[in-house]
Structure 1
């Protein structure tokens, strides 16, 4: 197999971003390249064209590789539902919700088989596989049954580059410590080191490069600068890096729920004159131009958290005073009057009942089977805006209106969807990627601008911006990489 794996000395050292850049660099050179992460833990997911669920990072990496995302690129996705349990997504479909212990004991062999099947498929379909590890490869309490680092590199028989984050400090200890804790056969698979998130004068690090190379016998194949970017991230650890702190014409407050999912729904605002502020308590919310309640992997748990932090009262008062609120997926469910978990599929407790925020006159019930699908449609005529809409749905619940005459937000191909009132000041929808629709995003933002006395802005083409982002990332990092040496390692050429 022609491939390479990027492993890290810790979580959030930049593995996903490096893989994204490598995918675009190789695609630009004409290779058919695919990203791969055997096991991903994230509530930030991506729905493939077949309506299957994979990690959001692998979806973005596939876009960078100019190929269609598939379940083969992320055969196992773990979506945390509590501190000890996660939903196991296998080849894009929900398998079971398991504790960490049960997962390691009962799923390990099935996981290995799934990974091998995916690797075989990608090897047949692509020239090159760029693989991503998770966390650190030397978590000694987990190594015996790990499914994502050295075991997978061994299965694929690919070389490894070790990435370290110099920005957080301790880069020398993290590199040496990681290498020392690897088994001899694992250590032999590491062929180079990447220093990531470097700030300042590279000449001041030359002695450090020499020391690392002499101490480890491995080449430093890149010293990558700290880059500001809007490439979609994998999990909530990277929220602070994904959203700019510019002072925009508009300010949007997004409630940062404990089990926040699909925060990539907010990514398009990075290209607008908009400030995104993540808030965790009603006292910190201020007076934004609009409030967004995003998706969550545990709706009723996060609803209880939201109430404890004073958001329920605040949101009702905010709307009465003329504010605008948008709830997406779990956020939509929270805005209804009542949530009922008949089968325990959301809470784990059959029959759980919770009063909602009450801004939307509807009731939400949770079902056993999750719905994951890509959808297309238009804005409903009630919105007084003509625009096509597309996105995807990932949810267990179904929301039914108390008054069937209430105005829906969207007209999908097979049904009306969502809720819309007060000229769009209260919107609820199950549609993820709502704001990735350029025309609708521009309409919504311009209504907020008009209300504030500002001039309307021209539409930003998100697809073009995103594609340019991948090229910009690749072009920004390539001068700092020993790219020809990396390709020698990747293709396992004899002189490496």
Structure 2
């Protein structure tokens, strides 16, 4: 197999970023490339055209490579739902939510075979497979069954790069320490080192390159500068630092509510490109302030996270915000929390059959969690008094919604292509709830909603910001930066020699 794997010394070392940039760089060189992550742990997922869940990073990397995302690009997806348990999704099929010990004893062989099968499929259909590791490959307590890093590289029999984040400090220790902890047969796979997020004059790091090469015997393939090229990230560390400062003094203040098992927070990513929108994360009641709009994102554990928000005093703040007539958005699990009641009849959400919780009571919505999950891409339309627009996104939820609307306060937010109503919106458009992820990735809808918000705050209306076109521009900028600072010719030669 012709391919390359990118390992990192830590989480947030830049693995996803580097693989995404390499996918676009190789595509720009005319190479048919597929991204791959054997085992991903993330509540940020993407739904393929066939209705399979994969990690959001692999969906974005496929976009960078200009190929259709498939389940083979991330055959094993683990979605944390508590401190000890994760939902195990193998080739798009949920196998339950075991704890870590049971996963390693009962599911590892199945998962490993899925990785091997998917690699074989990709190898037969693409010139190159670019593989992303997870966390660190040198976790000694997990090394015997490290499917995300060591096992994948061994199955594919490809060389690896090791990336370290110098911005966090300790890059020399993390690189050399990682290499020393790896068994020799895995260490021998490492054919290059990448120093990521370097700030300052690169000439001042020449002695660092010399030291690394002398002490590891491995060439430094590049020193990547800290780059202000934002692309969607799925790592929880990325969510913890998600914020923007608007470029204007009259900025819209958009508060995104944080939860322990937040999912698909990339739903708010397009707002980061808006010059007059400031996005901030709110975890506690004393951080709430008086935002112009509140967005309650999805979650993998709705009832658990609802109780967490209530204990933090945030449900009370959100209800007050709604009662003041300010803008409020609930997406997927956030939509469910804003309803009347959450019913876990079969234990699908909490693991405890019969558990219930009262919601915030804003929407006349009753949610019953089912053991089956709805995962599909979605297309439909939004109808305003003055315009209609196409909207697309995807659904990932196990909740079955019952709407008990006996009044005229609410109307459907969207209509599907099959003319079925979806979501809810107040008559004044200030409050919306939906199961559709990436609704704000639709430029026309986001532009409409933001101008409604601007108008409500007496602020100047703005022109549409083309998010998709800007994302393409950023992907090409990232590829150009990697072409400049990485020896990609060497990497291609490295893949061909293996």
What's the TM-score once normalised by structure 2's chain length? 0.96
- What is the distance in 2 between the residues matched to 1:489 and 1:175? 20
Which residue does the alignment assign to 1:29?
Answer: 29
What's the CA shift for 1:421?
Answer: 0.8
Which residue does the alignment assign to 1:303?
Answer: 306
Which residue does the alignment assign to 2:412?
Answer: 408
DSSP-derived class of the 1:336 partner: coil
Q: Gaps spanning 5+ residues in structure 2: where?
A: none
What's the CA shift for 1:324?
Answer: 1.0
| More displaced 10-residue stretch of structure 1: 304-313 or 384-393 | 384-393
CA contact (8 A) 1:47 1:54 kept: yes
Which residue does the alignment assign to 1:176?
Answer: 176
- What is the distance in 2 between the residues matched to 1:229 and 1:330? 30
- What is the distance in 2 between the residues matched to 1:432 and 1:489? 39
Which residue does the alignment assign to 1:104?
Answer: 104
Residues 425 and 458 of structure 1: CA distance in aligned 2, closer, same or farther (over 3 Å): same
Residues 175 and 10 of structure 1: CA distance in aligned 2, closer, same or farther (over 3 Å): same
Which residue does the alignment assign to 1:145?
Answer: 145
Which residue does the alignment assign to 1:323?
Answer: 326
CA contact (8 A) 2:21 2:482 kept: yes
DSSP-derived class of the 1:150 partner: helix
CA contact (8 A) 1:243 1:276 kept: yes
Over 6 Å off, 4+ runs: none
Residues 136 and 477 of structure 1: CA distance in aligned 2, closer, same or farther (over 3 Å): same
| More displaced 10-residue stretch of structure 1: 248-257 or 134-143 | 248-257
- What is the distance in 2 between the residues matched to 1:114 and 1:467? 32
- 1:443 corresponds, among 436, 445, 448, to 448
Residues 303 and 247 of structure 1: CA distance in aligned 2, closer, same or farther (over 3 Å): farther
What's the CA shift for 1:318?
Answer: 1.4
Which residue does the alignment assign to 2:366?
Answer: 363
- What is the distance in 2 between the residues matched to 1:421 and 1:242? 28
Q: Gaps spanning 5+ residues in structure 1: where?
A: none
- What is the distance in 1 between the residues matched to 2:271 and 2:361? 27
What's the CA shift for 1:477?
Answer: 2.6
DSSP-derived class of the 1:387 partner: strand
Which residue does the alignment assign to 2:18?
Answer: 18
**Matches for 1:180-191 after TM superposition, within 5 Å:** 180-191=180-191
What's the CA shift for 1:136?
Answer: 0.9
| More displaced 10-residue stretch of structure 1: 241-250 or 13-22 | 241-250
Which residue does the alignment assign to 1:376?
Answer: 379
CA contact (8 A) 1:225 1:477 kept: no
What's the CA shift for 1:245?
Answer: 3.0
Which residue does the alignment assign to 2:400?
Answer: 398
What's the CA shift for 1:230?
Answer: 2.1
What's the CA shift for 1:51?
Answer: 1.3
CA contact (8 A) 2:229 2:477 kept: no
Q: Deviations over 1:301-335 (max 9, x none)?
A: 00001111112222222122121110000000000
Which residue does the alignment assign to 1:476?
Answer: 481
**Matches for 1:55-454 after TM superposition, within 5 Å:** 55-240=55-240, 243-248=243-248, 249-273=251-275, 274-380=277-383, 385-403=387-405, 406-414=410-418, 415-454=420-459
Q: Number of matched residues?
A: 492
Q: Deviations over 1:211-232 (max 9, x none)?
A: 1111111110000011123211
CA contact (8 A) 2:242 2:280 kept: no
DSSP-derived class of the 1:442 partner: helix
Q: Deviations over 1:385-414 (max 9, x none)?
A: 421111100000022111256421111123
What's the CA shift for 1:422?
Answer: 4.0
Which residue does the alignment assign to 1:47?
Answer: 47
CA contact (8 A) 1:259 1:298 kept: yes
What's the CA shift for 1:247?
Answer: 4.9
Q: Deviations over 1:258-306 (max 9, x none)?
A: 1000011011111112110100012211111100000000000000011
| More displaced 10-residue stretch of structure 1: 474-483 or 32-41 | 474-483
